[in-house]
Chain A
Amino acid sequence: MTAAAAPVLEGRSLIKSFWVKQGRGPLARKARVHAVEDVSVSLEAGKVTAVVGESGAGKTTVGRLLAKILKPDGGEVLLDGRPAPGGRPRSYAAQVQMVFQDPFASLNPVHRVRHHLERPLKIHHLADGHVDAAVADLLRRVALEPADNFIDKFPHELSGGQRQRVAIARALAVQPRVLIADEPVSMLDVSIRLGVLNLLAGLRDREHLAILYVTHDIASARYLADTIVVMYAGQLVESAPSVSLTDTPAHPYTQLLLSAAPDPDRARAPELSAPGAPPSLLAPPSGCRFHPRCPHAMDVCRSQAPPNVTVAKGHVAACWLHVEPALRRVSETELSTAVNASALKS
Chain B
Amino acid sequence: MLREGFANNAIRGGWWWWWAPPGICVALLGTGLALLNFGIDEFINPRLRNVGLSQRGARKAGISLSTTLGITPVLGRRQAPPVGATPTSGVTDAVLEIHGFSVDYGYGEEAVHAVADCNLVLRRGQVLGLAGESGSGKTTLALAALRLLRTPGVITAGEVLFHSQPNGEGPAGTIDLLSAGPEQLRAVRWSEISVVLQSALNALNPVITVGAQFDDLLRAHRPQLSGSQRWQRSGELLDMVGMNADRLRSYPHELSGGMRQRAMIAMALALEPQVMILDEPTTALDVVTQREILEELMGLRDRLGFAALFITHDLSLLVELADEIAVMYAGRLLERAPAASLFHAPRLPYTHGLLNCFPPMHGRRLPMAGIPGSPPDLRDLPSGCPFHPRCAWAMPRCRQEAPPLAPLNGSSREVACWLQTGDVPVPAELARPDPVARSSERPAAVKPGSAL
Contact = CB atoms under 8 A, between A and B. Distances in A.
B361 A222 contact: yes
A194 B316 contact: no
B75 interface: no
A165 to B, nearest CB: 11
A116 B134 CA distance: 26
A198 B287 contact: no
A191 B133 contact: yes
A216 B287 contact: yes
Contacts, number: 126
Interface residues of A, number: 45
B370 A193 contact: yes
Contacts of A262: 287, 314, 316-317, 319-320, 358
B46 A189 contact: no
Majority SS of interface residues in chain B?
loop
A277 B316 CA distance: 24
B317 A194 contact: no
Contacts of A219: 358-361
Nearest to B44: A110
A263 B361 contact: yes
A192 B44 contact: no
Given A193-B357, A219-B360, A156 B46 contact: yes
Contact of B320 (A198, A256, A264): A264
A249 B374 CA distance: 35
B340 to A, nearest CB: 9
Interface string A179-197: 0000000000111111100
A177 to B, nearest CB: 24
B337 to A, nearest CB: 14
Contacts of B288: 54, 256-257, 260, 272, 275
Contacts of B317: 262
Interface stretch (B62-70, B108-116, B245-253, B289-297): B289-297
A159 B375 contact: yes
Interface string A203-225: 00000000000001111101100
B258 A277 contact: yes
Contact of B367 (A159, A190, A198, A275): A198
B47 A261 contact: no
Contact of A109 (B47, B133, B134, B362): B47
Interface in A224-277: 242-243, 246-247, 256-266, 269, 272, 275, 277
Contacts of A110: 44-46
Contacts of B315: 190
A249 B372 CA distance: 33
Contact of B291 (A201, A242, A265, A272): A272
B357 A190 contact: yes
A223 B317 CA distance: 18
B368 interface: yes
Contacts of B358: 190, 219, 262, 264
B354 interface: yes
Given A54-B286, A192-B371, A272 B295 contact: yes
Nearest to A187: B134
A242 B133 CA distance: 28
Interface string B320-358: 100000000000000000000001000000000110111
B205 interface: no
Given A219-B360, A263-B361, A194 B319 contact: no
B133 A189 contact: yes
B286 A190 contact: no
Nearest to A269: B320
B343 A194 contact: no
15 contacts: A109-B47, A110-B46, A156-B47, A190-B314, A191-B371, A194-B357, A194-B369, A218-B287, A243-B365, A256-B288, A262-B317, A263-B316, A264-B316, A264-B358, A269-B320
Interface of A: 54-55, 109-110, 154, 156, 159-162, 189-195, 198, 201, 216-220, 222-223, 242-243, 246-247, 256-266, 269, 272, 275, 277
Interface of B: 44-47, 133-135, 256-258, 286-292, 295, 313-317, 319-320, 343, 353-354, 356-362, 365, 367-372, 374-375
Given A110-B46, A195-B370, 7 more contacts: A189-B313, A191-B371, A191-B374, A198-B370, A263-B362, A265-B361, A269-B295
The 6 A-B pairs at the shortest CB distance, nearest first, are namely A194-B370, A223-B359, A264-B319, A260-B291, A54-B286, A262-B317
